[in-house]
Amino acid sequence: MPESPRMVPVYLARIADLRVGARVSVRCASCGHTAELAAMVLRERLSLDLLVKRLGPQFRCRNCGHKGARVNAKEALGYYG
Ligand SMILES: [Zn+2]
pLDDT in tens, 22-65: 999 999 999 999 999 999 999 999 999 999 999 999 899 999 99
The confidence score (pLDDT) of residue 4 equals 55
Q: Are 37 and 24 in contact (CB under 8 A)?
A: yes
Tell how far the Cα of 17 is from the centroid of ligand 1, in angstroms.
27
Q: How confident is the model at residue 77 (pLDDT cuts 50, 70, 90)?
A: very high
Tell how far the Cα of 40 is from the centroid of ligand 1, in angstroms.
23
Q: Which protein residues have a CB closer than 5 Å to ligand 1 (ion)?
A: 28, 30-31, 33, 61, 63-64, 66
DSSP letters, 2-18, are PPP-S---GGG-BGGGS
Q: How confident is the model at residue 79 (pLDDT cuts 50, 70, 90)?
A: confident
CA–CA separation, 69 vs 61, rounded Å?
8
Task: Write out the H or E segment, with its range, that includes residue 39.
Answer: helix 39-45
Q: Using the predicted structure, report yes or no on whether residue 71 has a pLDDT greater than 60.
A: yes
Between the two ends of the chain, the Cα-to-Cα distance in Å is: 28
Q: Which of 2, 30, 8 is nearest to 76 (CA)?
A: 8
Q: Are 48 and 11 in contact (CB under 8 A)?
A: no
Tell how far the Cα of 62 is from the centroid of ligand 1, in angstroms.
7
